[in-house]
Amino acid sequence: MSPRLEDLPLREDLRGMTPYGAPQAALPVALNVNENTHPVPGEVADDILDSIARALRDVNRYPDREFTTLREGFADYLGHGLARDQIWAGNGSNEVLQHVLQAFAGPGRTAMGFSPTYSMYPLLTRGVGATWLAGDRGHDYVLTPDSAAAQVADADPDVVFLCAPNNPTGTPLPIEVIEAVYAASRGIVVVDEAYAEFAPRDERSALTLLPGRERLVVSRTMSKAFAFAGARVGYLAADPAIVDALRLVRLPYHLSALTQAAATAALRHASTMLAMVDDIVAQRDRISATLSALGFQPFESWTNFVLFSGVDDPAATWQGLCDRGVLIRDVGIPHSLRVTAGTEEETTAFLDALASIGSGS
């Protein structure tokens, strides 16, 4: 008989944990994991393929360990006077966040976030042997400067995660909250801007706070706005000293030559790749308006998804949508479900399917 997990000499702090995972099903409309459902434009895909083909000629050699060209590309894309020595990247933003925790958390240390928030934060924290501390949010999942700063000061964590805007709720995070948390903290403050491109254009990014704040980290991803989820590319901006610390924990040559080539090519077409963001935002707002008309309560969202409450039986509604070929996400928040804003056709399919099931309470 094959051994069971509990029979293995697993670390005690990992016993009872479950891995991250969203339901996967081959349904016509998949709106459950906040992907950008728009395909990569043909001309961009062609350039990416050409870049990968060129990289393949030297694939017998190790890649550039410092991924210099890619870091320059990210610095140019982010702007704000950033230089390549302030940029780090990895195989998805989860790996980048893991590097931060490996360097600044670990056994005997703590990391903190404000629940409900991105479910990978506690998993990554426990994976490096650190302790996860869950702070609280206020009404409608809003985080205020005074509340956030007081909770951080009381918990005194080594790493703080601020999801801006927040996942899974879509809630905006005012820049004043970041300033207050940084002032109240002695440790690393990570502002996760995975969905920043979907926020209003006139809103300030945490990137504007980097000068003079050597403990501040701003992470981003290419998975959402860049429609690059399958390529697995995440990155961050921080003080060069933070980047030096991350070199201590990364695996050698952790970004393959093919990944570097693909991401660098995609960045060359940033304006084209981001052109679809306005369409996604329009569908997000359409979802919110229609959900309200159906009797549900959508929460304010600056992301590419909408969390909505007023669902009498989330499991039954989720299954009803699934039976109609639409996959969304039950994130475990009572009487709530979350849906990604897809194409116009996908959004229509979701809204029609939901309307056929019944309105909210």
Give yes or no for a contact between 242 and 214, defined as CB atoms under 8 angstroms apart.
yes
Structure-token pair, residue 28: 């016509």
Q: At what angle do helices 240-247 and 93-104 cross, to 10 degrees?
A: 90
Which residue shows structure tokens 């694939």?
A: 59
pTM over 0.85? The answer is yes
Q: Cα(224)–Cα(77) distance, rounded to whole angstroms?
A: 15
Span 302-317, pLDDT tens digits: 999 999 999 999 999 9
Give the CATH H-level superfamily of domain 18-38+276-357: Aspartate Aminotransferase, domain 1 (3.90.1150.10)
**Domain boundary assignment for the chain:** 18-38+276-357, 42-269
Torsional class of 195: left (φ above 0), alpha (ψ -120 to 50), beta (otherwise):
alpha
Q: Cα(194)–Cα(141) distance, rounded to whole angstroms?
A: 18
* pLDDT, tens digit only, all 361 positions of the chain: 677 888 899 888 888 888 876 666 678 999 999 999 998 999 999 999 999 999 999 999 999 999 999 999 999 999 999 999 999 999 999 999 999 999 999 999 999 999 999 999 999 999 999 999 999 999 999 999 999 999 999 999 999 999 999 999 999 999 999 999 999 999 999 999 999 999 999 999 999 999 999 999 999 999 999 988 889 999 999 999 999 999 999 999 999 999 999 999 999 999 998 889 999 999 999 999 999 999 999 999 999 999 999 999 999 999 999 999 999 999 999 999 999 999 999 999 999 999 999 754 4
Virtual torsion, Cα 39, 119, 79, 282, nearest 10 deg: 50
Q: Cα(39)–Cα(249) distance, rounded to whole angstroms?
A: 34
pLDDT at 27: 86
**In this structure, which topology does domain 42-269 adopt according to CATH?**
Aspartate Aminotransferase; domain 2 (3.40.640)
